[in-house]
């Protein structure tokens, strides 16, 4: 049952990324171009996501288990660290250069967007390097 719910949630998330324009690198780059031809439409997407996320986190904090019965696990680390800041900076630079972040890149890959192939390949390579570095740390 959980796998079916995960599939439905993934399809809904992917559809939302397509409808919102997040899977379109030109739209994302237009949003990030604050000093050029700025496209503010994704700000409304972000505001909607923050509103829904805030309510969902508030509700989840009051429960011990998910609606499917799994334990809700919260992050143990709550502070701002050098690794967090550096990781966020690398993520932001990649997002600004390519116009993709991981979720929308996978949606674009599934939609056959050629630019997504290189991004997803680089993303997987980066994940592999990170995993190797963490294991050898």
Does position 53 have pLDDT exceeding 90, yes or no? yes
With contact defined as beta carbons under 8 Å apart, do 68 and 1 qualify? yes
d(CA 45, CA 41): 7
Provide the 3-class DSSP secondary structure of residue 65: strand
Q: Find the mean pLDDT for residues 92-119.
A: 90
Does position 51 have pLDDT exceeding 90, yes or no? yes
d(CA 102, CA 118): 12
Q: Looking at the chain, how many residues does it have?
A: 137
Q: Which residues contact 32 (CB under 8 A, 6 or more apart)?
A: 95, 96, 99
With contact defined as beta carbons under 8 Å apart, do 123 and 38 qualify? no
Q: Find the mean pLDDT for residues 27-36.
A: 90
Domain with 131, as residue range(s), is 2-135
Number of domains in the chain: 1
Instruction: Give residue 58's pLDDT.
Output: 92
Q: Find the mean pLDDT for residues 115-137.
A: 93
Average pLDDT for the chain: 90
With contact defined as beta carbons under 8 Å apart, do 94 and 126 qualify? no
């Amino acid at each position: 049952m959980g796998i079916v719910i995960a599939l439905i949630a993934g399809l809904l998330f992917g559809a939302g990324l397509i409808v919102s324009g997040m899977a379109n690198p030109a739209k994302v780059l237009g949003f990030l171009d604050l000093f050029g031809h700025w496209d503010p439409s994704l700000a409304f997407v972000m505001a909607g996501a923050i509103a829904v996320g805030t309510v969902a986190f508030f509700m989840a904090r009051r429960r011990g288990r998910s609606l499917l019965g799994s334990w809700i696990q919260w992050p143990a680390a709550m502070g701002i660290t050098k690794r967090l800041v550096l990781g966020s900076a690398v993520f932001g630079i990649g997002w600004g250069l390519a116009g993709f972040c991981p979720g929308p890149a996978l949606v674009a890959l599934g939609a056959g967007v050629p630019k997504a192939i290189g991004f997803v390949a680089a993303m997987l390579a980066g994940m592999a390097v990170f995993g190797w570095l963490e294991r050898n740390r």
